[in-house]
Amino acid sequence: MSGHSDDQDVSKLSFEDALRQLETIVRELEQGNVPLERSIEMYERGSVLRKHCDGLLQAAEAKVEKIQLDQTGAPSGVTPLDADGQ
């Protein structure tokens, strides 16, 4: 099993799946019973997963920033959920 195929499917993972895999890697590495060569592969995979999670978070933050607030702190440019009730 080559490391390259691992790296390619990371880009298709959802944030939750990538985070779950990253947590599993961290847990296994912390237990310390992983052979050195395998731990290096896991560390590299973890690094790729972390970058993927960072990218997804930044994309989510960019979307949140697009929701502009007016002076009263109410979102402008999107319809408030409770607009019908007023």
Sequence-ordered strand ranges (E) for the chain:
68-69, 75-76
Number of domains in the chain: 1
Assigned domain for 36 exists: yes
Assigned domain for 74 exists: no
Cα pseudo-dihedral 60, 77, 68, 19, rounded to 10: -10
Q: What's the pLDDT tens digit per position in 53-79? A: 999 999 998 888 777 666 676 666 655
- Domain range for 46: 3-66
Assigned domain for 30 exists: yes
Assigned domain for 84 exists: no
Q: What is the pLDDT of residue 28?
A: 94
pTM (two decimals): 0.65
Assigned domain for 72 exists: no
Q: Which residue bears the tokens 């929701």?
A: 67
Assigned domain for 83 exists: no
Q: What is the pLDDT of residue 43?
A: 95
